[in-house]
Amino acid sequence: MDACIFCKILKKEIPNYTVYEDEHVLAFLDIFPMTKGHTVVIPKVHGETICDLEDHVLEKLMVGVKNTTKKIQDALNPDGFNIGWNHHEVAGQSVPHVHVHIIPRFNGDGGKGLHGIIKKDSDTPVEELAKKFI
Ligand code: 5GP
Ligand code: ZN
């Protein structure tokens, strides 16, 4: 997509600090890192969310995430990672091209896990919700 900033990075119209690259994905340092080594991994085809991408693209994306994570582990030796993505604006997505955040975590860094993103109990009991998935 012409206006997509990550497509521009793929086309080398905008520079990046590459962490990992293969035929299917590019991983580069986030310009506003949450921790040391914060990296985003993007597929080399445009899609706004995972639901817009073909399964084979997503399979390659996940392999790219694994290889990037290993590379960061070797380079920076963090104690762990948060790995995930924001899906749509309400969840924090600002760039409409799928990107997986790899956020290295270090003991004592004061951050939280996924459960720290939001805590707003559903007013529908889990038993009721489960009926929607039958
Ligand atoms: P989102 O908020 O959409 O989940 O994540 C987008 C991420 O891309 C943000 O963490 C932001 O700092 C990063 N970002 C946005 N524009 C650029 C850019 O031009 N270069 C790099 N390296 N990162 C970018
Ligand atoms: Zn794009």
Q: What is the pLDDT of residues 88-124, one digit of tens each?
A: 999 999 999 999 999 999 999 999 999 999 998 889 9
The C-alpha atoms of residue 103 and residue 78 are separated, in whole angstroms, by: 10
- CA-nearest of 95, 86, 94, 96 to 118 is 86
Give CATH superfamily name and number for 5-133: HIT-like (3.30.428.10)
Looking at the CA of 89, name the nearest ligand: 1
Per-residue pLDDT, 87: 98
pLDDT exceeds 80 at position 40: yes
Rounded mean pLDDT of 72-77? 98
Which ligand number lies closest to the CA of residue 41? 1
The response to whether residue 86 sits with its C-beta less than 6 Å from ligand 1 reads yes
Distance, in Å, from the CA atom of 77 to the CA atom of 104, rounded to the nearest integer, reads 9
**1-13 mean pLDDT:** 93
Q: Report the C-alpha gap between 27 and 11 in whole angstroms.
A: 14
Q: How far is the CA of 46 from the centre of ligand 2 (A)?
A: 4
Least Cα distance to 24 among 45, 38, 7, 6 occurs for 45
Contact 116, 82 (CB under 8 A): no
What ranges make up the beta strands (E) of the chain? Answer: 18-21, 25-29, 39-43, 80-84, 100-105
pLDDT class for 9, splitting at 50, 70, 90? very high
Distance between Cα 47 and ligand 2 center (Å): 6
In the set 24, 88, 97, 99, the catalytic residue is 99
41-61 pLDDT per residue, tens: 999 999 999 999 999 999 999
Q: What pLDDT sits at residue 122? A: 86
Burial 11-50 (b: 16+ CB within 10 A, else e): eeeeebeebbbeeebbbbebeeeebebbbbbbbbbbbbee
